[in-house]
């Protein structure tokens, strides 16, 4: 894109060995670098193509330059986790650290957002929906890196009787944001397959959501399950005026054509996200809880919701075992503890059977802010992107980022 852009740094992966291909012209320390490359960690330094340093920076020669990373893990710890090769525009930085080589992509913010909206959802989704997603992804990003986000990186209350913890985007030490769902999905140019995604960025260039003069921390999730959630159910015990709970009449769809149009291929593998069911025997659940917590509860004999948010998502859950009991929260901790990956959400009812438990659930994700499925359906129904934004972020306004002090 020809217009000037603020640059950001995105952490892609960390590994002892990195395989990548440079295409279209790159320079490293003033020398031309091109083709297949292998970088290894050697005595605290990055060694690659005859160069050795604590940091190697490969500068893109132009708009046609890109690099391809081999075996990038996406969906870390989620039910759809997998590896794939991914290509990225912009500059490549290899940083040597004790934990491995940190691979960083230095890229313009609008180029980054083009890839985000094509990774979070399908690049073939309706234009008005992609425009809405561009605005919230830009808002969320700027809230994180400019200090107006609503939550700090982590909170924890750990006692023998209770574990209440939450994890949010934290201030990464070596880059602005990471590339996985922990921040926003960013899978490079691999998923940018249409001009529609680029048009959505061009049409909303620099636009953000704001509330009382500050950029909004515009949270979003895949499917709210029929009702959106409030901030404090998932993160800090504070609520945000523009992140309200209300019934969402748009996210209940089983239209296969719509879902195929709006969801990336790997998300289409998940068929039952609006209403879902998980069955466990007593032994199965007891094993999972022991593995996930590192504690022996004995036989898990009951699951008791202690506190719920307005969408029905459980904020605190008591696990009752034959050897010990403990209350856990918040929303993500519950999802992690009761599954070897993650439950789709913590919005579930517990049915106890002679054999074990049936969890009757709804929704996919934390449910705060924009429901991606609902917003995409609104786009299909002809709603404009500003209508979509103000439906989900009530009381916010749409402004140019340069009108704010960020």
Average pLDDT of span 229-241? 95
Residue 193 has pLDDT above 90, yes or no: no
- At 258, the pLDDT band (50, 70, 90 cuts) reads confident
Residue 289 is predicted with a pLDDT of 98
Integer-rounded Cα radius of gyration of the chain? 22
Containing 308, the helix (H) or strand (E) segment is strand 300-308
Residue 268 has pLDDT above 60, yes or no: no
Q: List, for residues 125-135, the tens digit of each pLDDT value.
A: 899 999 999 99
Q: How many other β-carbons are positioned within 10 Å of the β-carbon of residue 5?
A: 16
The model carries a pTM of 0.89
Residue 77 has pLDDT above 60, yes or no: no
Sort strands 7-15 and 100-108 into parallel, antiparallel or unpaired: antiparallel
CA–CA separation, 141 and 135 (whole Å) = 10
Residue 81 has pLDDT above 70, yes or no: no
For residues 93-105, one letter each, b for 16 or more C-beta atoms within 10 angstroms of the residue's C-beta and e for the rest, the string is bbbbeeebbbbbb
Query: Looking at 21-25, 91-95, 165-169, which range is the least confident one?
Result: 165-169
Name the percent of the chain lying above pLDDT 90: 67
Give SS3 for 228: coil
Q: Is 405 exposed, middle or buried (0-12, 13-18, 19+ CB in 10 A)?
A: exposed
Smallest CA-to-CA distance from 233 within 333, 361, 120, 147 is with 333
The answer for residues whose C-beta is within 8 angstroms of residue 199's C-beta and 6 or more apart is 127, 130
| Residue matched to tokens 């998932």 | 234
Average pLDDT of span 214-239? 95
E strands within 90-226?
91-97, 100-108, 154-158, 162-167, 177-178, 207-211, 214-215, 220-221
For residues 264-298, one letter each, b for 16 or more C-beta atoms within 10 angstroms of the residue's C-beta and e for the rest, the string is beebeebeebbebeeebebeebbebbeeebeeebe
Smallest CA-to-CA distance from 244 within 344, 311, 325, 328 is with 311
Q: List, for residues 273-314, the tens digit of each pLDDT value.
A: 899 999 999 999 999 999 999 999 999 999 999 999 999 999
Residue 395 has pLDDT above 90, yes or no: yes
Query: Concatenated DSSP letters for 334-382?
Result: HHHHTSSS--S-S-EEEEE-SSEEEEEEE-BS--BSEEHHHHHHHHHTT
The pair of structure tokens assigned to 209 is 């959501």
Residue 352 has pLDDT above 70, yes or no: yes
Q: How many other β-carbons are positioned within 10 Å of the β-carbon of residue 9?
A: 19
Residue 117 is predicted with a pLDDT of 87
136: DSSP letter = H
Average pLDDT of span 212-230? 95
Residue 110 has pLDDT above 80, yes or no: yes
Average pLDDT of span 202-214? 96
């Amino acid at each position: 894109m020809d217009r000037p852009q603020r640059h950001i740094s995105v952490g892609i992966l960390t590994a002892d060995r990195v395989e990548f291909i440079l295409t279209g012209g790159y320079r490293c320390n003033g020398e031309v670098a091109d083709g297949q490359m292998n970088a290894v960690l050697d005595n605290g330094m990055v060694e690659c193509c005859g160069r050795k340093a604590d940091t190697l920076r490969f500068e893109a020669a132009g708009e046609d330059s890109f690099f391809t990373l081999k075996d990038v893990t996406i969906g870390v710890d989620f039910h759809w986790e997998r590896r794939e090769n991914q290509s990225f525009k912009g500059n490549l930085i290899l940083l040597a650290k004790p934990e491995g080589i940190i691979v960083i992509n230095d890229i313009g913010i609008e180029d980054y957002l083009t890839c985000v909206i094509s990774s979070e959802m399908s690049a073939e989704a309706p234009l008005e929906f992609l425009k809405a997603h561009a605005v919230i992804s830009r808002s969320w990003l700027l809230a994180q890196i400019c200090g107006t986000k609503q939550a700090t990186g982590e909170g924890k209350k750990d006692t023998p009787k209770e574990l209440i913890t939450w994890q949010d985007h934290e201030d990464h030490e070596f880059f602005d944001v990471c590339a996985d769902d922990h921040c926003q999905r960013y899978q490079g140019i691999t998923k940018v397959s249409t001009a529609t995604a680029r048009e959505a960025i061009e049409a909303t260039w620099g636009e953000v959501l704001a509330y009382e003069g500050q950029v909004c921390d515009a949270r979003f999730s895949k499917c709210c399950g029929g009702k959106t959630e409030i901030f404090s159910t998932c993160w800090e015990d504070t609520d945000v005026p523009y992140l309200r709970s209300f019934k969402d009449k748009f996210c209940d769809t089983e239209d296969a054509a719509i879902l195929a149009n709006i969801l990336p291929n790997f998300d289409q593998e998940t068929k039952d996200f609006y209403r879902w069911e998980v069955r466990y025997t007593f032994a199965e659940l007891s094993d999972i809880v022991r593995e996930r917590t590192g504690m022996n509860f004995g036989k898990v004999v009951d699951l008791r919701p202690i506190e719920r948010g307005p969408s029905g998502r459980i904020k605190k859950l008591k696990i009752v075992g034959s050897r010990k009991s403990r209350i856990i929260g918040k929303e993500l901790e519950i999802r992690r503890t009761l599954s070897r990956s993650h439950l789709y959400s913590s919005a579930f009812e517990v049915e106890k059977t002679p054999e074990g438990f049936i969890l009757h659930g709804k929704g996919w994700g934390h449910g705060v802010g924009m429901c991606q499925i609902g917003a995409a359906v609104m786009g299909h129904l002809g709603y404009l992107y500003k209508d979509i934004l103000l439906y989900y972020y009530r009381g916010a306004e749409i402004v140019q980022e340069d009108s704010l002090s960020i």
